[in-house]
Structure 1
């Protein structure tokens, strides 16, 4: 450890991590003041009680710089006694009160309120017991000591507030990082579930075409679609996981309500009987709400392909001036989330973050997912982290 760091390190270990310039300012001012006091009193030769008092202050400063020694009791005692000795030999324009003022502000900024008040009282008592030709000057010095305590206490208060802000900021950063990881996990889950569901449907179609119909052309078409969906999924996963990288990444548009048509078409090409209807003005739907609708529809259709691939599915979007409704129902077979799945929880979480609701369950003849999301006109983005570059 460098010598210049020891005093700062000692104070920082006690919770007073002031800038090094502030820490060094106190011993430098004390040493300079003592030098001026000794010059005023011609106390260098021969050495007397005044020179010894000055030497004690300088020695204390040197020890604090060289070894990081910092004792408030010794610091206050040495400076108060030295100041009293100096003022027992009065001179015009005495610099001794600067010693007490510097001591007071240093203790107030690095000690408890009780300790700093005791040090301030000692400094005031020393000034009160000293002999000044002009009492107004003495009162001015006492006011300076009191102001020094106030300045030091304000420094300590600001330091504590800054430290609390650092803790709060670190907590917020950790929370934001956790929210972003969960968001990316949901995106990866949605992409993987969607792509694997469609790919499996295409592979099933290809197998049946070869096994039952001996139709090579249909099998090739199904395998080609499966390959296309797989490549698209890999690109989406790379783009989503790329958010975790610290380097620059390309910005791609998020899916929105208009992309639900292509989503349904992918499932239709995979052999899933899906019907889609959209009523209302899609321009009323914001980007955040559109992404939420797309992901809910994507997860719901992936569940249908996983649990009830042969059932008929109806997807309906109804847009009113105040809300948008999404319904995905499949009949006659009911579908459900497998044990340990997170798809339904993820859909509910998306709806809640957008201020809406989502219900999922049997509707008598099949399985129905129904979500209602409010329309927030004028929003260009979502402050909840649902929309972002991928």
Structure 2
């Protein structure tokens, strides 16, 4: 900044100060007080962070404070735009304000509303019940006060509130016990307060608890216990310098002296409070209530009469204030009742309109439901018709396939089978009539003809619909065992488990099973050098298992330079893959084992369940 600019800035600042000083005091802006700033912050509550909102909503509302109308405005609008906890804090603060302002009827209405809203919030419910107990006690309705106090105690164990809250509720219940004349119950609650105070370790709280416990001991004429508790209270309260505690201690000491007929000592104790009791009418009235009997006990009736007249004036003034307050509360209650009636009438009109709207909506919904039911019924009928048509087409297709398979099987058996039989017979005749030189060629021709006839029979059997049963498969397996294994000198054993003869079996599954069985038996006859052959066909809940096992020795490895074709094993694996099954072919503990496992998948055309449907 240059020197010229600094000089200009200083001159402007000096002129501004002079103008401000010359301005009249009434025209100068007045700085807002901290309470007004707090009221503005409370008025603009939603703009602050949540933590700041909670802190502002928990501010104590004192009589005459500008915060009160702001809180009342928020509560009248039911906390629109505020968080639930913040709104509840405002309601609690407003209820406490009505208690401090000596308006217990308003406090009861406000706290009952809060208690209904925060029923699941145990901490706030306990506090609301505690202040309801205190408010009803101020209204003189002890019967309604005590249940709320018990309710507050019941809610306290669910939370961890501040210890002083628990002490407050016990103190309030002790006051209620005094009003109903139950001194033992009063002492019970005050002892609970003492236990909590001793746990907290605050000397003032412990001293006050002992001081309050003197009264039930006096009422029960246990003077030794009263002196003991009074001495304990003085031990804790002596270091403190509080006027209210001093006056209360003097009153209780005077009451104990009067109960023991030590009237002069009681008068001396009460006169020590004279410099303080004039500052508060409440203290003066309480002191005079004890001073009059102390003077009467000394037969100083003239002085007692003067103090009694002063006490009557104080009580009359208190009565007028109470009557005025009660009249004001009744007037406010009447206005609130009228507003509630008007609100109830408006709600009734709104309810009538809503009922009409709901009736119209119900009629519309009923019509819409009928239309939806009709559409649904039509869709269901179309679905059923489509399903029936699809089932009919599948049945017709199956029937056509069955007729086609039967015709192919019949044509193959009648035409090709007859032709192969004729070729076999001619080859057999030629073999009988031919010279020995042509014998090997004719033997091969005869063997090929018979093999072709057997293959043709296998094909015909595989596509024949009359053979779609377990019995046909078993018959075919027994026949093959007799023609191949038994003819080769092997002892054959066929075992069946879980299958009935009349049980249907899909043609593709039946054909693959038989061809795998046939290849396994052929390999055992040719290569195993076995004496026994075991065949097992078992049906488990989720699989069909075919096992061919012999007791022969494994085949020798192929000679050097030669490789085994393995066509039989490859074909068996391909058939297993076609059935989505697994094939295991390996030497066992004794001989060779071929095991085929076919999973029974519901919905496939190769399962027993599908064939049965």
Question: Under TM normalisation by the shorter chain, which class is it?
Answer: 0.3 to 0.5
In terms of fraction of residues, the more helix-rich structure is: 2
**TM-score with structure 1 setting the length:** 0.33
Tell me which structure has the larger Cα radius of gyration.
2
Q: TM-score w.r.t. structure 2 length?
A: 0.24
